[in-house]
Amino acid sequence: MKSILKILSIALILSAYGCFKSKKKVHTNTEDIPVHREMKAELTSPPNVPRPVGERKAKKLIVEMEILEKEGELTDGVRYVFWTFGGTVPGSFIRTRVGDEVEFHLQNHPDNKLPHNIDLHAVTGPGGGAESSFVAPGHEKVFSFKTLNPGLYVYHCATAPVGMHIANGMYGLILVEPDGGLPIVDKEYYIMQGDFYTKGANGERGLQPFDMQKAVDENADYVVFNGNVGALTGDNAITAKVGETVRLFVGNGGPGLVSSFHVIGEIFDKVHIEGGDLINENVQTTMIPAGGAAIVEFHVNVPGTFILVDHSIFRAFNKGALAMLKVEGEENENIYTGEQYDGIYLPEGPGIQEMPTTDGVVESEIPAQNFEEQMKFGKQIYMQTCFACHQAEGQGIPNAFPPLANSDYLNADVNRAIDIVLNGKTGEITVNGQKYNSVMTRQMLSSEEIANVLTYVYNNWDNNKTVVTSEMVNKVKNK
């Protein structure tokens, strides 16, 4: 925007002297920007964004977007039927420039069950396009609009019940770049928050239907970035190198909750507040309204894993609103000195949300039917409960948390291991020749869950392949 103002003021000065002969015409009224030829828009799935518009002139831009209703996963073992723009939540990213004439083709796949439409906040016109785009399964609707205002805008389905269509994942972002484009940066990513409401509680396995009452009450079971818990953690983390500038296009689909967007260990050098022209600098946390967006930019100076959260913090650690940016490169002790542990801020998950009942725990609903299920369920519990201290490969953390991998202490006595998970452990122990003196808290897990997680641990990382049953756990419990 600054550059536009600069060009405008230079243009004014030059024209005042009667010598303004620039080839580049500056349009004060974006409605008058002429379009040159046509092109097909590049659409991308999150967290990727299309190429910057750069110096390209305004064009007739053909956008083809297909609506797909498809089953996917909200978190491990929790299935959900998502309604999507382009097959992903959030929907495909659309990148335009001011003055483009967008010819929007909205296709509703024949296998879908419901009609849908699209309301793009970048549109000047009734319903943001919703009125012209209502489309039944097996049909396509076409409408056109001119992008008059640069900025980052949300789009969403606006078919009744509107809240339900949005809650099922029908939202995404459309960027309208200014003339000449946004300044070029090293890395750009697309992140969008959304809240989900399921009949079952957080973590309850199986195919979960949408819960209208919880949605009306804004009592979300999941608050996530990019459509599911873990969409941007571990191997799915976004990445950058020390010295690079990162730009995040961050949206909030809602439907219900406002996001307090924050990156742990970073300060936003710039925030395009609410996705508009106003740039704030040196910001810790920026508000992103439901149905709104922001562009945040920061330079990464030191390596490590930086955690993106909704700073309404239970949403981050207990409902899924947590993503990771992994930065590689040289340490810079002038800026930061100290140890860094990858993965210390992991979702605590539903496992510890239960208050103890009279006998201490709530029994899980469906027991594992076989060894494979025990391993699968055990891994889920491990990743929610044990991972932060004992680490992904059971390697532990030197001088703090003992390893579970190839552990002589673990393999020597299964009943002792069960007892530690049941009752916790304090005091010095020796594992593989190293002394540890940390505290392990008592874990609020059912006998079934303890059996599964210990079976997972014993059957990984060169341990002795013990299979633990809930009967074995109960025996130790009742000793």
Rounded to a whole number of angstroms, the minimum distance from the CB of residue 153 to Cu ion is 18
141 binds Cu ion (CB under 5 A): no
Segment interacting with Cu ion, rule: CB under 5 A, options 149-157, 273-281, 382-390, 439-447 = 149-157
Nearest to 302 by CA among 237, 240, 234: 240
3-class state of residue 424 by DSSP: coil
Nearest to 105 by CA among 140, 61, 137: 140
- C-alpha angle with apex 354: 350 to 359, nearest 5 degrees? 140
272 binds Cu ion (CB under 5 A): no
- Per the DSSP assignment, residues forming a β-bridge with 73 are 79
| Marked catalytic residue, from 170, 192, 389, 472 | 170
Rounded to a whole number of angstroms, the minimum distance from the CB of residue 69 to Cu ion is 9
Is 27 an active-site residue? Answer: no
In whole angstroms, what is the distance from residue 378 CA to residue 152 CA?
42
Our CB check for Cu ion shows the closer of 83 and 190 to be 83
Our CB check for Cu ion shows the closer of 97 and 165 to be 165
By the 10 Å C-beta count (0-12 exposed, 13-18 middle, 19+ buried), 411 is classed as: middle
- C-alpha angle with apex 285: 282 to 290, nearest 5 degrees? 130
Rounded to a whole number of angstroms, the minimum distance from the CB of residue 165 to Cu ion is 3
Our CB check for Cu ion shows the closer of 114 and 405 to be 114
| Marked catalytic residue, from 159, 164, 262, 383 | 262
Stretch 394-413 residues interacting with Cu ion (CB under 5 A): none
One symbol per residue from 151 to 170: x for binding Cu ion (CB under 5 A), - otherwise; what is it?
------x-x-----x----x
Rounded to a whole number of angstroms, the minimum distance from the CB of residue 83 to Cu ion is 6
By the 10 Å C-beta count (0-12 exposed, 13-18 middle, 19+ buried), 18 is classed as: exposed
By the 10 Å C-beta count (0-12 exposed, 13-18 middle, 19+ buried), 184 is classed as: exposed
Nearest to 20 by CA among 30, 12, 32, 31: 12
| Marked catalytic residue, from 140, 186, 281, 413 | 281
Burial 279-300 (b: 16+ CB within 10 A, else e): eeeebeebebebbbbbbbbbbb
Expressed in angstroms, the distance from the first to the final Cα of the chain is 72
Rounded to a whole number of angstroms, the minimum distance from the CB of residue 223 to Cu ion is 21
Q: How far is CA 62 from the centre of its chain?
A: 28
Is 165 an active-site residue? Answer: yes
Our CB check for Cu ion shows the closer of 158 and 240 to be 158
One symbol per residue from 165 to 204: x for binding Cu ion (CB under 5 A), - otherwise; what is it?
x----x----------------------------------
324 binds Cu ion (CB under 5 A): no
Is 71 an active-site residue? Answer: no
Is 285 an active-site residue? Answer: yes
Q: Sheet holding 151-156: strands in order across?
A: 94-97, 171-177, 151-156, 119-120
Rounded to a whole number of angstroms, the minimum distance from the CB of residue 81 to Cu ion is 12
Say how many residues touch Cu ion, by CB under 5 A: 5
By the 10 Å C-beta count (0-12 exposed, 13-18 middle, 19+ buried), 353 is classed as: middle
Is 281 an active-site residue? Answer: yes
257 binds Cu ion (CB under 5 A): no
Our CB check for Cu ion shows the closer of 116 and 315 to be 116
| Marked catalytic residue, from 204, 311, 348, 469 | 311
Is 428 an active-site residue? Answer: no
Is 272 an active-site residue? Answer: no
Rounded to a whole number of angstroms, the minimum distance from the CB of residue 209 to Cu ion is 16
**Amino acid making up residue 177:** E
Our CB check for Cu ion shows the closer of 160 and 335 to be 160
Our CB check for Cu ion shows the closer of 97 and 116 to be 116
**Amino acid making up residue 352:** I
| Marked catalytic residue, from 65, 157, 324, 440 | 157
What's the sign of the alpha-carbon dihedral 443, 448, 451, 455?
Answer: negative
Nearest to 52 by CA among 190, 150, 185: 185
Stretch 106-125 residues interacting with Cu ion (CB under 5 A): 116
Rounded to a whole number of angstroms, the minimum distance from the CB of residue 196 to Cu ion is 15
455 binds Cu ion (CB under 5 A): no
Our CB check for Cu ion shows the closer of 160 and 439 to be 160
Q: Using CB under 5 A as the criterion, which residues of the chain lie in contact with Cu ion when the complex forms? A: 116, 157, 159, 165, 170
For the annotated catalytic residues, the residue numbers are 116, 119, 121, 156-157, 165, 170, 262, 281, 285, 311
